[in-house]
Structure 1
């Protein structure tokens, strides 16, 4: 395996807690910036596209594009700039059968680019992937819960209202009411 891909995977799956992965922590964001900004910049310039040919390296590329981007560019539109590419890489991983080669804990990160999408078809696909691959895994109920939450937001609004401010979009009246009433802060999704 490529050394940089291994470093990314070790950091994400061995050295990082769930709270850090899904939290909002400036210290953790800085750690990602200090250690992985160069990798992210290479990935967006297609310099890591050869990672598509290996399941673990492909997963590392998805983590760079879909997860680290949110830490590197929190509260900035660039946090979402590589979402389409992350979905393309995730589709490639699924098409190549990489889901059969990765652990269940790793698989959710293949599926998250679809959960982060503002397209309803991607939300539906994410739910199906979770049902197919994680049905018997300990994280199934939690993954299914968050998949449904994301799906329901897109189904209702056609976008994630928490992204509106960062992306310079105006909230509709319905979105304003939703943002006042919800306890989920999904600005990162």
Structure 2
């Protein structure tokens, strides 16, 4: 179990140099890449399905294990099922893991960029109250980040604020409407035409 947790976190947070022909850091996290998606599916697809089925719930007992679960459910599931409704299927469980972990201060045992992904389910929630929590925890992260990571954490906070603004305005993310077969309002359609994808 510990070995798989380590493999997940090492892949996401400590990518090696170009040895695997995949991007590092921010590019790995936020750039759409079919090659990266395939690699994640090959290496972690089974673990994602097990996490969604509750078979890995014991991992949540430790901060790093809980973080690995959140990465599987909130990040890797999006890579594997990109642009399909299934990409959001891990969100509810990931959010519960995040919020329960916050109640237990588990995030405090993690490094700053690990904390950012621990909080990510809050940023992805179509719920105004949870969006406020998202901005709060990312704001705390900025305040507590070491100087060399301050700018990166400020960028995470800016994304959290933009997600909050969208959910406060529409009570959901309009860019998900097409994937989830939801009908966009005229205001949402206008917004989608002039905005980028969150």
Establish whether TM, by shorter chain, passes 0.5: yes
Scaled by the length of structure 2, what TM-score is found?
0.90
Specify the alignment match of 2:157 in structure 1.
Answer: 144
Tell me, yes or no, if the aligned pair for 1:52 and 1:92 is still in contact at 8 Å. Answer: no
SS in 2 for 1:19: helix
- Runs of 4+ with deviation above 4 angstroms: none
For the residues of structure 2 that align with 1:17 and 1:99, how far apart are their CA atoms? 20
For the residues of structure 2 that align with 1:143 and 1:51, how far apart are their CA atoms? 26
Specify the alignment match of 1:185 in structure 2.
Answer: 197
Please list every run of 5 or more consecutive structure 1 residues that lacks an aligned counterpart in the other structure: none
Equivalent of residue 112 in structure 2, options 93, 104, 109: 104
Equivalent of residue 72 in structure 2, options 60, 64, 71: 64
Q: Does structure 1 residue 6 correspond to structure 2 residue 6?
A: yes
Equivalent of residue 172 in structure 2, options 149, 159, 165: 159
The higher-RCO structure (CA 8 Å, 6+ apart) is: 1
Scaled by the length of structure 1, what TM-score is found?
0.94
Specify the alignment match of 1:26 in structure 2.
Answer: 34
Specify the alignment match of 2:56 in structure 1.
Answer: 48
How many residue pairs are counted as aligned between the two chains? 185
Please list every run of 5 or more consecutive structure 2 residues that lacks an aligned counterpart in the other structure: 16-23
